[in-house]
Amino acid sequence: MISASILSADFSRLKEEILNVIGAGADRIHLDVMDGHFVPNLTFGPPVIRSLGEIPRPMDAHLMVSNPEAYLGAFAELGCDVITVHVEAAGHLHKLLTEIRDLGCKAGVSLNPATPAVQLEPVLPFLDEILVMTVNPGFGGQAMIPEVLDKMRKIRRMIDDGGYEIVLEVDGGIKVETIASAAEAGATRFVVGSGIFESSDYKATIAALKEKALLTRATLV
């Protein structure tokens, strides 16, 4: 599946951009929420998304904030089906994941490039999605760090060997040129920001992304 990160969209036409990218074949909308503290950048919060009115779903919230516990309810109310918190920002990760599920959402956890896979082991039974960052979070348009793909392979094995139904997603620097390497390393869901929004033809780009990913993985979830 292709999850379109609206971080690289034209914010002055945000609703139109969301409608266009879904119309062009993106499967989901990915909300990059930044607080200027956990990451060195600020984006938007629930009021901005609420102000757009009816927008297509599914939509997931990637919370790059220092105190994710304060915002879980607001993103659940917005209708996000997945809420993802960073392992580096979570003092009580198990509690956070349980709260997300109690709100009726799927619980996701994200790892920065330098955070090892082993940190996931204690919480695997409480997870619905793992979001592997292949850039340091904070900005769109950065180049993928290919060395992180070894960690992705390790996580793929952890999921498969344990028989977990956890979606493995990749975020950062995914383009038509790099998506196959992430798929080969085990990702089945791909966040793409600048790779789509900086292209002149969203539909052709999304079709090319899916084609490249499907060459390596028979199913994308």
Active site residues: 32, 171
Alpha-carbon distance 207 to 193, whole Å?
15
Closer of 127 and 196 to ligand DX5 (Cβ): 196
- Element at 164 (helix H, strand E): none
The residue type found at 72 is L
Which of the ranges 147-155, 158-166, 168-176, 203-211 carries the binding residues for Zn ion, by CB under 5 A? 168-176
Closer of 31 and 183 to Zn ion (Cβ): 31
Residue from 68, 108, 186, 195 binding ligand DX5 (CB under 6 A): 195
Q: Does the protein bind ligand DX5 through residue 172 (CB under 6 A)?
A: yes
Q: Does the protein bind ligand DX5 through residue 66 (CB under 6 A)?
A: no
Alpha-carbon distance 6 to 21, whole Å?
9
Per partner kind, with CB cut-offs from 5 to 8 A, the member of Zn ion, ligand DX5, none near residue 108 is none
Question: Do residues 19 and 59 touch, judged by C-beta distance below 8 A?
Answer: no
Residue from 18, 29, 62, 140 binding Zn ion (CB under 5 A): 62
Question: Do residues 24 and 209 touch, judged by C-beta distance below 8 A?
Answer: no
Residues 6+ apart with CB under 8 A from 107: 82, 83, 96, 97, 98, 100, 101, 126, 127, 128, 129
Q: Could you tell me the two tokens for 12?
A: 């002055």
| Phi and psi, residue 149, nearest 5° | -65, -25
Q: Does the protein bind ligand DX5 through residue 178 (CB under 6 A)?
A: no
Site for Zn ion in 11-40 (CB under 5 A): 32
Site for ligand DX5 in 7-46 (CB under 6 A): 7-8, 30, 32
Question: Do residues 169 and 131 touch, judged by C-beta distance below 8 A?
Answer: yes
Site for ligand DX5 in 81-140 (CB under 6 A): 135, 137-138, 140
Which of the ranges 45-53, 112-120, 185-193, 210-218 carries the binding residues for ligand DX5, by CB under 6 A? 185-193
Query: What residue ranges bind ligand DX5 (CB under 6 A)?
Result: 5, 7-8, 30, 32, 62, 135, 137-138, 140-142, 171-174, 191-195
